[in-house]
Amino acid sequence: MNIGIVGLGLMGGSFAKAVKRYAIATKVYGYARSEKSKKEIAELNLVDELVDIKTLKEKCDLIVLAIPVDNIISIIPEFLDIKDTTTIMDLGSTKDFIVKNIPESIRQNFIAAHPMTGTEKSGPKAAIDDLYEGKTVVLCNLEDNENIHVNRAFKVFQAIGMRIVVMDSDEHDIHACYMSHLPHAISYSLANTVMGHEDPKSIIALAAGGFKDMSRIAKSSPDMWTDIFKQNRENLLKSIDLFEDHMKKVRTMVEEEDYDDLKEWMKKANSLHEIL
C-alpha cells in the first residue's frame, strides 16, 4: 500500500514515522506547501518523496489529511476525483462539521479519525517516533463508509499499535470538548491571567510544577486551536458556562469562608484520579 500524507507537522510527521517503523507502506509520499516545511521534512527524512497533489492522488491508496480542521474543509475540493479504491482520512480534532461538509461523491471514501494523542508542539520537528503507540483513535460515522475503506483504516491503525473506538461525530465533539477543548481554553486563560499579573522574572523564579502542568498546553498552536474552537463553538460555549459555574462556586465558598463545603468540593475533584 502507498500512503500519502498532507501536512507533515506533529500528527502527519509522527504518522509517517509510525507507518515506516511498522513497514506498513510500500512508499510514503508527502505533500507540503511551504519551502520551509519542505526543507525541514527532507532534512528529517520523514517521507520517501515530496510530491504535488496530482501525484499523491495517482500513487496513493491511502491519503491522510494532517492539517488544521478548517484547512481540511478547504482542501477537500482538490480530492473530488480520487479513485473509488482510494481512502482519504483526516486526523482533525473536531469531527461533526467535517463529516457534514464532505461532498456526497467521496463520502464513502472519507474516514473521519481523531487520534486521542498529541503534544503542545507543532511543525515537522515536533514529530515523534511513538506518538500513536498504545493510544486511542476515534473513528466516526463509519456507516457512511464502504467496507474497503473501513477495513483499510482498521488495518493501519491496529498495525501502528492503536486502540480503535467508534462513535457518532456529534457525540465525539461533546467528549472532545470536555476532555480536550475546554482544558485548552482554561490553560490559555490561566497563562494570560498570570502574565497579566506577574512579571517574567517572578514567573521564571517562582513557577512550580502545578503551574507548569496547567499551562503546558497554552503553548499550543493558535492557528490550529482557533479553527477547533470555531468548529466546536456550541459545545465549547456550554462547557465554558459550566466551568464558570465552578469558578463562581469556589469564589463564593472562599469569600464566605465556607471551608467545610470547600473541602468536600475538593475531595470530589480528587476522585477523578481514581478513574484516570
Ligand X SMILES: NC(=O)C1=CN([C@@H]2O[C@H](COP(=O)(O)OP(=O)(O)OC[C@H]3O[C@@H](n4cnc5c(N)ncnc54)[C@H](O)[C@@H]3O)[C@@H](O)[C@H]2O)C=CC1
Cα–Cα distance, 4 to 87 (Å, whole number): 10
Binding residues vs ligand ENO (CB under 6 A): 93, 116, 118-120, 180, 217
According to CB under 6 A, which one of 24, 123, 164, 211 is a site residue for ligand X?
123
In the chain, helix, strand, coil percent, each to 5? 60, 15, 30
Cα–Cα distance, 69 to 97 (Å, whole number): 9
According to CB under 6 A, which one of 4, 17, 68, 102 is a site residue for ligand X?
68
217 binds, among ligand ENO, ligand X, none (CB under 5 to 8 A by kind): ligand ENO
Residue 239 near ligand X by CB under 6 A: no
Q: Which stretch binds ligand X (CB under 6 A): 6-14, 145-153, 197-205, 245-253?
A: 6-14
With 0-12 CB in 10 A as exposed, 13-18 as middle and 19+ as buried, what is 166?
middle
CB of 267 to ligand ENO, least distance (A): 26
DSSP element (H, E) containing 30: strand 27-31
**Residue 31 near residue 91 (C-beta atoms within 8 A):** no
Here the cell at position 18 is 509510525
Q: Draw the binding track, 76-115, toward ligand X (x: CB under 6 A; -: no contact).
A: ---------------xxx---------------------x
Q: Which residue ranges make up the site for ligand X (CB under 6 A)?
A: 6-7, 9-12, 31-33, 37, 66-69, 71, 75, 91-93, 115, 118-119, 122-123, 126, 221, 224, 228
